[in-house]
C-alpha cells in the first residue's frame, strides 16, 4: 500500500450552492486505478462520495470521469498522486455521477423484423468499427458543437450511421440526421480523442452520413457552392489576388548549403487567401537550407468536399495531387495548412511521406530565432492536434519565440467541417468561446498554425492572431536588423525570372 493525495470535485445539490474541490489522502495498492482510489476515499474518508461503476473491465461505460480535465474510464485509468478528478462535462447529479439517462433513452435501434439470414462479411466489416461503443458519454460531454448548437451529438450520429450501414434496416434517416444537427459538427475529432474505444466518429459516421445526405440532395447551399468551384477551377476559393502558384518558380533553392529537399503542397487558403504567409514560410525554409519543389499543377486536397460528404470527384483530385509529386520523384511533401495535412495523411494513400511544417522544422533543426517577452498563447488547430497528432513541435518552436508562453485548453474554434460557411452562427458561438479562453490566459498574442483557425479566431479575439511560421520569419528579420546582415533569404525568385 502507498499513500496518494488527490482532489475530487464534489457537489451535492441538496446542500451545495456550487461545486467545490476537496483534497484526500488515502492508501492504495500498487497499480490501483482511479476507481480504486475513489473506493478508498469512500472507505477511509467519506462514505457519502457518489460515483457510478459496475463492470470494472472497461465495458459498461458507467464510470467515466475527468482526470486532469480529460475524460477517462475510472476502472481502467491508473490513479496517481496529485490527480484532479472531476465529473464529465454534463449536468451533475451528485459528485461524480452525471445525468446519463436522457442521452441514452432515444438512441435509435434496428427495426425488428423476422430473421432472414446473417450478414455478409462486407456488411460485418463495415459496421464493426463503430459497434464497440460502450455509451460512456465521454464524446457527448466534450463535443463543442453539441454545447452551442441544436445537435444531438456524436453518440447519436454514430448510432444513426450504424443503422444506415445495416442491410437489415432499410429506413432512410438522412433527413432526420440533418435535422438533428449533422452539419453542425466541425469534425474537430475531440470525440475520437476522448473515446476509450477509439471510434472514429467524424470519419466513420459524420462524414459518411453527410455523403448519404448529399446523395439525397440535402447538402447545404454554401457547401454546394464550394464543390461547384472545386469542380470548375480545382480550387475551393475564388481568385481575388495573385496566388502563390502564380508567383513562385517550381524550384526554390535555399541560401547556403542544401540540407534537405521537400515538395510543398500549398493548399487553397494559402494559395489564394494568405499568399504572404506562404511566401514567408518559403523564406524561412530558404534560410534554413531546405530546397522546396512546388508543382504548379497541384489542386485542392479535397478536404472541404470530404468533410461535407461531397466525395464524387475527390478521387480525381487525389490522382492529380499524388501524381504531381510522384512525377518529380519527391519523397517528402510538406503542408502548412493543418486541414490539407490531415487530409493527405488520413484520407490519401500517398507513396511519399507527408509532414506538417512544424514537424519538418523539428526534424531538420532550425537556426535559433531571437526570443521576445510578449506573453503568447497557442491555439491547437484540430486538424493538427487530433488529425496529425502534432502538439509538441509547435510548442517547442513557440518557446524559442517567447519567454512567456501560456497554455490554454485545446478546443475547436468553430472553423472546421464546413461549419463556418454552412452554419455561421454555430461557428461564431465557438469563436467567442475561444476569445474568452484566450482572454483568460492574459496573452497579448495568440499563435496558431492553420489558415482556417487564423481567419476565424481573428474575427472574434481581442488580441492579434499570428501564424507560427510568420512569427519565426519576423524573429529572423529582427535578427538581421540587429546584425545589419542579410543573406538575401527573403528574396524568393519570381516565377517570371526562371
Partner 1 sequence: MVNIMPGDHVTDCHVLVIGSGGAGCRAALEASRYGETVLLSRTLTGKGGCTIMAEGGYNAVLNEEDSTTLHFEDTMRGGGYLNDPALAKVLVTESPDRFRDLTAWGSVFDVEHDCVPAQRPFGGQRFCRTCYAGDRSGHEMIQTLTEQIRNTDIRQVQETSAIDFLMDGKRVAGAITLDRDGHLGAITADATVVATGGATRCYDISTNCAAGTGDGFALGYRAGATLIDMEMVQFHPTGAVYPPDSRGRLITEAVRGEGGVLKNSLGERFMERYDPERMELSTRDVVARSIATEILEGRGTEHGGVYLDVTHLSAEEIERRLPIMLDQFLHFGVDIRIQPMEVAPTAHHLMGGLKITPDTATTLPGLFACGEVTGGVHGANRLGGNALADTQVFGKRAGEAAGKSPKISLSVDVDAVLAIEAARCDAYCNGTTPPHEILRDLTRVMWDHAGIFRTKTGLQEAEATVSRLQMLIPKAANRRMLNECCTVTNMLTVARLIIQGALLREESRGAHVRTDITQSWTAENSPFGHTVQSLFGTTIEDRRRDA
Contact residues toward partner 1 (CB under 8 A) are 28-33, 36, 42-43, 47-48, 50, 52-62, 76-78, 100-101, 104-122, 124, 127-128, 131-135, 166, 168-169
Rounded Cα distance between 160 and 109, Å, is 9
DSSP helix, strand, coil percent of the chain (3-state; round to 5): 45, 15, 45
Query: How many residues comprise the chain?
Result: 498
Rounded Cα distance between 3 and 136, Å, is 29
438 sits in which H/E element: helix 424-441
CA dist 138 → 135, 144, 193, 200, 480 (Å): 8, 12, 10, 13, 50
Sheet with 332-335, strands from edge to edge, namely 251-252, 290-293, 260-265, 332-335, 353-356
**Helices 451-460 and 338-346 meet at what angle, rounded to 10?**
140
Rounded Cα distance between 295 and 251, Å, is 8
In angstroms, give the least distance from the CB of 377 to partner 1. Answer: 33
Rounded Cα distance between 45 and 36, Å, is 13
Are the CB atoms for 136 and 198 separated by under 8 Å? no
In angstroms, give the least distance from the CB of 11 to partner 1. Answer: 14
Looking up cell 446473417, which residue turns up?
A: 118
CA dist 35 → 29, 41, 84, 196 (Å): 12, 10, 13, 16
Residue 279 bridge partners (DSSP): none
In angstroms, give the least distance from the CB of 154 to partner 1. Answer: 16
Nearer to partner 1, 73 or 384 (CB): 73
Residue 466 bridge partners (DSSP): 447
Residue 264 bridge partners (DSSP): 334
CA dist 81 → 1, 4, 222, 305 (Å): 13, 5, 51, 46
**Helices 451-460 and 424-441 meet at what angle, rounded to 10?**
80
Q: Which residues have C-beta within 8 Å of that of residue 48, sequence separation ≥ 6?
A: 12
Looking up cell 499513500, which residue turns up?
A: 3
Helix runs in 389-423, H state only = 392-401, 419-422
Nearer to partner 1, 114 or 232 (CB): 114
Nearer to partner 1, 40 or 301 (CB): 40
Q: Pick from 217, 148, 208, 216: which is nearest to 182 by CA?
A: 208
Are the CB atoms for 384 and 341 separated by under 8 Å? yes
Q: Pick from 260, 272, 290, 273: which is nearest to 281 by CA?
A: 290
Amino acid at each position: 500500500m502507498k499513500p496518494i493525495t488527490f482532489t475530487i470535485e464534489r457537489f451535492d445539490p441538496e446542500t451545495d450552492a456550487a461545486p467545490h474541490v476537496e483534497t484526500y489522502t488515502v492508501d492504495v495498492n500498487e497499480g490501483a486505478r482511479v476507481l480504486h482510489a475513489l473506493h478508498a476515499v469512500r472507505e477511509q474518508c467519506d462514505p457519502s462520495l457518489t460515483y457510478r461503476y459496475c463492470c470494472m473491465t472497461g465495458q459498461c461505460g458507467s464510470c467515466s470521469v475527468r482526470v486532469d480535465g480529460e475524460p477517462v474510464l475510472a476502472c481502467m485509468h491508473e490513479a496517481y498522486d496529485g490527480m484532479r478528478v472531476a465529473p464529465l462535462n454534463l449536468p451533475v447529479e451528485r459528485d461524480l455521477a452525471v445525468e446519463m439517462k436522457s442521452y441514452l433513452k432515444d438512441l435509435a435501434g434496428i427495426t425488428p423484423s423476422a430473421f432472414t439470414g446473417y450478414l455478409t462479411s462486407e456488411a460485418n466489416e463495415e459496421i464493426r468499427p463503430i459497434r464497440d461503443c460502450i455509451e460512456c458519454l465521454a464524446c457527448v460531454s466534450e463535443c463543442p458543437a453539441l454545447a452551442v448548437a441544436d445537435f444531438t451529438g456524436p453518440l447519436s450520429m454514430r448510432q444513426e450511421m450504424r443503422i444506415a450501414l445495416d442491410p437489415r434496416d432499410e429506413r432512410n434517416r438522412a433527413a432526420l440526421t440533418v435535422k438533428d444537427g449533422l452539419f453542425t459538427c466541425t469534425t474537430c475529432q475531440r470525440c475520437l480523442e476522448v473515446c476509450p474505444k477509439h471510434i472514429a466518429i467524424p470519419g466513420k459516421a459524420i462524414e459518411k452520413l453527410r455523403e448519404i445526405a448529399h446523395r439525397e440532395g440535402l447538402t447545404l447551399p454554401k457547401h454546394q457552392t464550394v464543390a461547384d468551384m472545386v469542380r470548375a477551377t480545382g480550387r475551393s476559393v475564388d481568385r481575388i489576388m495573385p496566388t502563390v502558384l502564380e508567383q513562385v518558380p517550381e524550384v526554390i533553392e535555399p541560401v547556403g548549403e542544401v540540407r534537405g529537399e521537400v515538395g510543398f503542397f500549398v493548399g487553397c487558403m494559402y494559395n489564394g487567401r494568405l499568399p504572404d504567409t506562404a511566401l514567408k514560410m518559403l523564406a524561412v525554409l530558404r534560410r534554413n537550407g531546405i530546397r522546396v519543389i512546388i508543382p504548379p499543377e497541384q489542386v485542392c486536397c479535397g478536404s472541404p468536399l470530404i468533410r461535407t460528404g461531397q466525395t464524387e470527384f475527390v478521387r480525381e483530385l487525389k490522382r492529380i495531387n499524388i501524381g504531381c509529386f510522384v512525377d518529380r520523384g519527391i519523397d517528402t511533401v510538406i503542408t502548412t495548412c493543418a486541414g490539407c495535412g490531415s487530409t493527405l495523411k488520413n484520407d490519401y494513400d500517398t507513396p511519399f511521406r507527408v509532414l506538417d511544417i512544424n514537424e519538418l522544422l523539428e526534424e531538420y533543426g532550425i537556426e535559433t530565432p531571437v526570443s521576445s517577452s510578449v506573453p503568447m498563447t497557442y491555439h491547437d488547430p484540430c486538424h493538427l492536434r487530433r488529425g496529425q497528432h502534432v502538439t509538441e513541435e509547435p510548442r517547442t518552436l513557440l518557446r524559442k519565440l517567447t519567454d512567456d508562453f501560456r497554455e490554454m485548453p485545446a478546443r475547436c474554434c468553430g472553423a472546421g467541417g464546413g461549419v463556418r460557411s454552412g452554419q455561421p452562427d454555430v461557428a461564431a458561438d465557438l469563436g467567442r468561446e475561444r476569445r474568452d479562453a484566450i482572454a483568460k490566459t492574459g496573452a497579448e498574442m495568440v499563435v496558431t498554425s492553420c489558415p482556417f483557425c487564423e481567419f476565424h479566431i481573428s474575427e472574434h479575439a481581442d488580441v492579434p492572431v499570428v501564424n507560427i511560421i510568420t512569427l519565426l520569419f519576423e524573429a529572423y528579420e529582427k535578427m538581421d536588423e540587429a546584425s545589419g546582415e542579410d543573406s538575401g533569404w527573403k528574396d524568393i525568385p519570381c516565377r517570371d525570372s526562371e
